[in-house]
Amino acid sequence: MRFYTCREAHEPKPFRVAVIGAGPAGLSAAGYLACRGYEVHVYDKMPEGGGMVAFAIPEARIPIRAVRDGVRALERLGVRFHFRTKVVYDSPREFGDEWAEHFVSLEKLLSEFDALLIATGAWRPRKLKVPGVELPGVYDALSLLHGIKMARIGYYSWERIPDLKGEHLVVIGAGYTAVDVAMEGRLLGAEKITMAYRRSLEHSYARAEIRKLIAEGVEFIEHATPVRILGEEKVEGVEFAKTKIVGGSVVTTDERFVLDADAVVYAIGQLPTSPIKEIVCASERVLEEAGIFFAGDVITPRNIGTAMREGRAAAERIEEWLLRKAPRRVFPVAMTGRLIAGVLSGKC
Ligand SMILES: Cc1cc2nc3c(=O)[nH]c(=O)nc-3n(C[C@H](O)[C@H](O)[C@H](O)COP(=O)(O)OP(=O)(O)OC[C@H]3O[C@@H](n4cnc5c(N)ncnc54)[C@H](O)[C@@H]3O)c2cc1C
């Protein structure tokens, strides 16, 4: 996988950039900046690079070998990687944190680097808010796919992964993640797979993939939203409400039906996970003036191509910012904390 590369790096430039997150956005930015002669350090809490591509997208879709080749190409360009290192500011404990062995504060990076790119993705599964969701046998898609991928690439033992052999797997959602769950469910031996979506197939951007799954025997139910997960000791079924679309919005009707299920996976999206949680209300422009840039899913979860384009675009803005300004004043650590807080409080 080519994140960004060049035949030869330019003459070294006297600026250092820290990239937080070694997913497609961070890696394409790192490659661009290394090619332009900047000293680039990439920090990631996981044990190697690739982000979601390495640690969630099924091996059958993008093999880890391709991701590793791309990361090695960046190492050859001079990009320095700091894996198993989580960058913290006011971030709560998040998915994947168990891999971090080192913790470095955002303030420290701000005091040591001329600019900073935050490309930390969207690693918090959006939670399904219906009764019964805590029952054993109900999983969020990201945790399940992450576990399966970790087992396939040798980080986890298969004992940690739910045994879906002979089971009826119900998948809630119709995006790429839901498609991946259905695909992995099949590979793990699920006997029957049903996908349920609150809109119609035509509304799903993964409709081409879903059509293929339907042709292979996956059942697809349109206009249905879960209202309750059923079961005593573990999941036994899902109660759905039929939906209709009114003025572009999904409206739940009084019509109900129940599907039996042995396992339920909800794939209803991920939420951005930035070390600065206020990014949701801070203007990117204001932060850029302080030398803090953002790219990829941490802004809005989308896809690999968009993340790579945004990483490259952010790297160009960083270069422009570095060349326009004299190297940023190195603030004492306590002051950088206040600087960020000040920058953020202007908008929040
Ligand atoms: C299951 C699944 C299937 C998908 N399938 C497709 C597909 O088929 N096609 C497609 O185009 N897109 C797909 N996507 C979306 C795609 O993976 C993402 O859009 C893309 O990876 C976003 O890139 P990113 O660099 O912004 O973030 P990520 O890939 O999420 O990378 C962010 C990195 O930041 C690190 N990080 C986070 N917080 C910190 C911290 N505080 N300190 C240090 N490191 C940190 C993480 O460990 C991670 O490595 C899929 C996503 C999922 C979850």
* Residue-number span of the structural domain to which 229 is assigned: 127-266
Contacts of residues 253-258 at CB distance under 8 Å and 24 or more positions apart, as own/partner, are 256/227, 257/224, 258/230
The confidence score (pLDDT) of residue 324 equals 83
Q: Which atom of ligand 1 is nearest to the CA of 50?
A: 49
Distance 85 CA to ligand 1 centre (A): 16
Rounded Cα distance between 170 and 234, Å, is: 14
Encoded tokens for 135: 């029952």
pTM of the complete model: 0.91
Please name every residue paired with 220 in a beta bridge, in sequence order, or none if there are none. Answer: 195
Find, among 247, 50, 234, the residue nearest to 155 by Cα. Answer: 50
The answer to the question of residue 316 being in a domain is yes
Q: Confirm or reject: Cβ of 175 under 6 Å from ligand 1.
A: no
Give mean pLDDT in consecutive 10-residue pieces for the chain, a chain of 348 residues.
86 95 98 97 98 97 97 96 91 80 90 93 95 98 97 96 97 96 97 98 96 97 98 97 95 98 97 70 64 91 95 96 67 50 48
- Can you tell me the distance from the alpha carbon of 322 to that of 284, in angstroms, rounded to the nearest whole number? 17
Distance in Å, CA 116 to ligand 1 centroid: 18
Token pair recorded at residue 273: 């996970």
Of 266, 301, 328, which residue constitutes the final position of a domain?
A: 266
Q: Please tell me whether residues 193 and 76 are part of one structural domain.
A: no
154 and 193, same domain (yes or no): yes
Using a 6 Å cutoff on CB, does residue 51 contact ligand 1?
yes
* Ligand 1 atom 19, closest CA: 303
| Distance, CA of 183 to chain centre | 19
Residue 186 lies in a domain: yes
Q: Can you give the CATH number for the domain in which 292 is found?
A: 3.50.50.60
Quick one: tokens of 247? Answer: 């003025």
172 and 222 co-located in one domain: yes
How many domains are there within the chain?
2
Give 120-162 pLDDT, tens digit per residue. Answer: 999 999 999 999 999 999 999 999 999 999 999 999 999 999 9
Residues 291 and 227 in one domain: no
Based on the domain organization, do 83 and 175 belong to the same domain?
A: no
pLDDT in tens, 309-339: 999 999 999 999 998 865 554 444 444 555 5
